[in-house]
Structure 1
């Protein structure tokens, strides 16, 4: 990728630094989409030894690019996102990807296709990390920032995404335990 093309791509990607998510940080400010993607990437790096047969560099790449569509639409919480939102985000993202140099475009499109089909172990790991990171961040945030539906959602969300892996299922259970402790704080 030529220097000018790289800079043009970064102009778009930089938007994720200012695109806030529904979730808050432990210090009480809205988390950015870029921060969510970074934490997912760090999670993939830290758990790479748990998946010796997986291409964890590919998982890291998936984590890095997975929310680039939100450069164009902003973040819409999973419990509010409609099919229409998804179609719009996919269209805008694809328009941008096709403007990239051929090699980058082709690699990115192949990754997105693999992520959407979720048949490979790498795509399954990425999708599990995406859900788990959101739950972990909710547990880091103050309960006053949770919407009412998140008290139940944090106990059940991503259960289906981790079933293929004993390790990820164990991590999900630890996160659920943290959620239960956090919710118990509300009652006391």
Structure 2
């Protein structure tokens, strides 16, 4: 990397660090709120673990899509899925925040990150379809695994992201397992 690009890259990385403190609606297994950075890390790990089962895909592209998919949340935070409504501006806000977040990067790197985010949002390429599905599955997995409040709505998970998690046979198989675990967790939370 040319030396004149280093300051901008470091500034971007400093700003992106905010994702470590951006909290989501899920909880870790120890009971503390999960950060968006933690969600992104495990999403990337899922992509790596299952990559061999996805057939002829570009694994590096899949992981890049996973890395940037929630990057814009570093500025305005996360909107929990249960609070999202049709026609809301979550996507537009995240795109605008990502444009601000990447402003210090060299124009080619900035364009690459924005393009990856747009590819993820459109979910038209095989890699973006998989990234979207894995994103939903990682969220459901965390909800099952987390130490959640007593009023946690496990039923929401049973319908969450169905379109994306049914887009590939492996995603659908994982979804079946997680739905069974969600039902068991919901039943267990009612028994307490």
Output one character per residue of 1:87-143: Cα deviation in whole Å (capped at 9) or x when no partner.
333222223334420221121122122112211110000000111100000000124
Structure 2 gaps of 5+ residues are none
Q: 1:44 aligns with which of 47, 64, 70?
A: 47
Tell me, yes or no, if the aligned pair for 1:20 and 1:32 is still in contact at 8 Å: yes
The structural deviation recorded for 1:151 is 2.1
Number of residue pairs aligned between Structure 1 and Structure 2: 186
Distance 1:87-1:184 versus aligned 2 partners, 3 A rule: same
What are the equivalent positions in structure 2 for 1:148-167 lying under 5 Å apart?
Answer: 150-167=153-170
How far is 1:81 from its partner?
Answer: 3.2
Distance across 1 between alignment mates of 2:39 and 2:147: 17
Structure 2 equivalent of residue 23 of structure 1: 26
The structure 1 segments of at least 4 consecutive aligned residues displaced by more than 3 Å after TM superposition are none
- C-alpha separation in 1, matches of 2:122 and 2:56: 19
- Return 70-79 or 150-159, whichever deviates more: 150-159
User: Which residue pairs with 1:119 in the alignment?
Assistant: 124
Structure 1 length-normalised TM: 0.91
Taking the aligned partners of 1:174 and 1:34, their CA distance within structure 2 comes to 25
- The SS at the match of 2:24 is strand
User: Which structure 1 residue ranges, 5 or more long, are not aligned?
Assistant: none
* 8 Å Cα contact 1:24/1:145 also seen in 2: no
Instruction: Give, in whole Å, the separation in 2 of the partners of 1:146 and 1:120.
Output: 38
Equivalent positions of 1:95-110 (< 5 A) are 95-110=100-115
- Tell me the secondary structure at the aligned position of residue 79 of structure 1: helix
RMSD, matched Cα? 1.6
Cα distance in 2 between the residues matched to 1:187 and 1:95: 44
